[in-house]
Structure 1
């Protein structure tokens, strides 16, 4: 009797193991937490989590282009009853109206990656020192801000396409 009960419990455990939290991504270098999963380009990419901020940076010192940039994902779950597009517009307005920041808007639009619609913009400082790209997405009540930033002197042609490629595997749980 004990063996039969143990066998049933074991079968139930095995059949349910990982059914809810099974990964949607299959890649060699993956970052995952309770809300997102992301395939990283190589083992040189490091992650640091600070509350609602996740930073991605490349640890290799002899790299150029996208590997010299810093990426981040920020989540906001403050029940803002606005769309991702409105959030993007408000964020952009706050940056462009801040005296002393000296920012030039390069483009503003939207992009579909997989089945997700992101609202984005790219900008740089007026003196051209820093290039910055941001994408905004909303799922349920959470807003996600994906950001890539790189100093212009080491930009080496990096643009929004490179940052979109970096984030294309993003799975939001």
Structure 2
């Protein structure tokens, strides 16, 4: 199990009093649960410091042959954010591409990370681009960083496009 980020609020294997079927399945050793604590879908809470350890946890589960179910209470914002972040990292693709892939897999369910979480994903995109540059060049050479970020969209454009995608659901 990767060490969690010092600001992470998730607890591997610690359910709320061991209640519910997930916690029973985990207690009996059939599944592993990563419970992300203290993140409400309120536009205030952030997932930013937790994205890296969550992605590491998912990678480890997959390497061990496991399948991963990502869910939250509604399945629209927080779980979508985690899934988009993982797809960005795993496939090495920009935020918009990852958003569209995840959205295309949820045909009957609208996904919409709240604006705070979408902003977290924008920062995640920059972090991943910087890491790709460092792996390719050994440091963050400005030209390569500009090339990586040219694939990304700016915040106002991204917000406008997400709104346009969701407009038919708002009426």
Q: Is the radius of gyration larger for structure 1 or structure 2?
A: 1
Fold shared, TM-score > 0.5 on shorter chain: no
If each structure's strand is expressed as a fraction of its own residues, which one has the higher value? 1
Identify the TM-score tier after normalising by the shorter chain: under 0.3
Name the TM-score, length of structure 1 as normaliser: 0.27
Higher relative contact order (CA 8 A, sep 6+): 1
If each structure's helix is expressed as a fraction of its own residues, which one has the higher value? 2
Name the TM-score, length of structure 2 as normaliser: 0.27
